Amino acid sequence: MRGGTQHDYLLHGSADEDSRAALDGVTLAPFAGSLLIAGATLAVPAHQNSSSGGAESAYGFVHALRRGVNSGDPIVLTMKLDQNPAAGLRSHLVADRGDEFFLGEAPSIRRIGAAPDP
């Protein structure tokens, strides 16, 4: 890859239904930090149309983080819907030994609702 030493990829589940993710090929441990870049702040929005502090704050919504480092094993991310576990998505990820993986939870901004009528 080109363009620096860090390349972030974000895979997410349904915006309408809760789902669970599992990451095979990496041993995950709790991660106490956040994914926010240094100096960024997050303002929790009141509704889906309100500002959260800019694009640099979007990673702040991801919480309950777990982190792992690739030891060279194949990496597979599986996401399944809570209400219909037969439906889901499996992604096979290409990664180098030593690449970091983070798995976390995020709220459904769509379900927070639209702005109230004035």
The more confidently predicted of residues 47 and 73 is 73
- The CA-atom distances, in angstroms, between 81 and each of 67, 77, 78, 94 are 22, 14, 10, 24
Confidence of residue 8 (pLDDT cuts 50, 70, 90): confident
Asked if the structure places residue 22 within a domain, the reply is: yes
Task: Work out the mean pLDDT of the chain and round it to a whole number.
Answer: 81
Asked if the structure places residue 29 within a domain, the reply is: yes
Asked if the structure places residue 80 within a domain, the reply is: yes
Asked if the structure places residue 24 within a domain, the reply is: yes
SS3 45: coil
Asked if the structure places residue 10 within a domain, the reply is: no
Confidence of residue 60 (pLDDT cuts 50, 70, 90): confident
Asked if the structure places residue 26 within a domain, the reply is: yes
For residue 95, the enclosing domain spans 16-34+63-107
Asked if the structure places residue 93 within a domain, the reply is: yes
Asked if the structure places residue 82 within a domain, the reply is: yes
The tally of domains found in the chain comes to 1
pLDDT at 10 over 60: yes
pLDDT tens digits, one per residue of 83-102: 999 999 999 998 889 999 99
pTM score, whole prediction: 0.76
- Tell me which residue has tokens 């030994």: 97
